[in-house]
């Protein structure tokens, strides 16, 4: 950290009051962008995507439950992979608290990975997550949502992510997709967020952004290389045996 200017209270008050104007600008801009987001055009979903769930095979319409709105987080985990993404896990650590309220406000939230359920559920149990986690292995869902890519697409450079054609070297990437189901059962894709678009769901960053050191990271996307770990891999984290006795 660089040396900070230490000032009398009246000067401190004036500086912080002046900065508050910028904070309010950001709040108003965030509200404006959220309103614009709600006015974006929708895309009708015409495929019957099937998912492997703990309750057996389900279609996309079933993932809504009793709600008309569905948020899906795409967890970047492909079949037979033993590499669990720290960034995706970091975001997922924040879901259960919000989900207690979302499910009572006409929103269902489901985490989808391309890996088969037999490969994801042990990790979900290890992490202690309660949200629904399903597999899209048996459908084109991840590929159509442009978060997974075939070897042929990668080799040919025919990969699109975050609305841009760009070279992709891995088969699975993270993202958020939002859907709406009308009274007739029609399903629409209303919004997609990729890359750093998931950061607003990571409230740990909001806490860090208020501190003098901020995020204090130099790594790429989500800081996963720099400091973030699976939450049971931080030094000093109690083991399950310790917690239970």
pLDDT digits (tens, 9 = 90+) for 43-63: 999 999 999 999 999 999 999
Nearest partner of 88 among 117, 127, 118, judged by Cα: 127
% of the chain residues with pLDDT over 70: 93
Token readout for 116 is 């088969």
Angle among Cα 60, 36, 63 to the nearest 5 degrees reads: 10
DSSP letter string over 41-87? --EE--S--EEEETTEEEEHHHHTTT-SEEEEEEE---TT-----HH
List of long-range contacts for 92-100, beta carbons under 8 Å, 24+ apart: 92/127, 92/129, 92/131, 93/127, 93/129, 93/204, 93/231, 94/201, 94/202, 94/203, 94/204, 95/129, 95/131, 95/201, 96/129, 96/130, 96/131, 98/201, 99/130, 99/131
52-108: pLDDT as tens digits: 999 999 999 999 999 999 999 999 999 998 889 999 999 999 999 999 999 999 999
Percent above pLDDT 90 for the chain: 85
How far is 141 from 45, CA to CA, in rounded Å?
A: 11
Question: Within 13 Å of residue 192, how many CA atoms lie on the same side as its CB?
Answer: 20
**β-pairing, 132-135 with 107-113?**
parallel
Give the other-Cβ count within 10 Å of 98's Cβ: 15
Three-state secondary structure call for residue 1 = coil
Q: How far apart are CA 114 and CA 139, in angstroms?
A: 9
Chain segment 161-188, per-residue pLDDT in tens: 999 999 999 999 999 999 999 999 999 9
Question: What does the pLDDT read at residue 235?
Answer: 86
Exposed/middle/buried for 3, CB within 10 Å: 0-12, 13-18, 19+? exposed
């Amino acid at each position: 950290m660089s040396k900070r200017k230490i000032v009398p209270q009246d000067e401190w008050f004036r500086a912080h009051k002046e900065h508050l104007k910028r904070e309010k600008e950001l709040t108003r801009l965030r509200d404006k962008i959220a309103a614009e987001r709600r006015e974006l055009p929708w895309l009708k979903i015409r495929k019957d995507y099937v998912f492997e769930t703990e309750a057996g095979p389900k279609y996309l319409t079933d993932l809504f439950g009793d709600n008309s709105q569905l948020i899906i987080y795409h967890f970047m985990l492909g079949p037979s992979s033993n590499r669990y993404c720290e960034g995706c896990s970091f975001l997922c650590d924040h879901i259960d608290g919000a989900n207690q309220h979302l499910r009572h406000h006409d929103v269902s939230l489901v985490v989808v990975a391309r890996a088969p359920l037999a490969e994801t559920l042990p990790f979900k149990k290890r992490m202690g997550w309660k949200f629904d986690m399903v597999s899209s292995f048996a459908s084109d869902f991840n590929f159509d949502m442009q978060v997974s890519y075939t070897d042929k697409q990668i080799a040919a450079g025919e990969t699109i992510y975050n609305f841009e054609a760009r070279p992709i070297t891995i088969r699975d990437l993270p993202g958020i997709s939002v859907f709406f189901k009308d009274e007739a059962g029609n399903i629409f894709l209303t919004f997609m967020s990729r890359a750093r678009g998931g950061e607003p769901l990571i409230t740990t960053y909001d806490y860090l952004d208020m501190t003098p050191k901020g995020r204090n990271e130099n790594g790429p996307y989500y800081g996963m290389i720099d400091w973030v770990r699976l939450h049971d891999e931080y030094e000093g984290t109690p083991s399950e045996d310790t917690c239970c006795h």
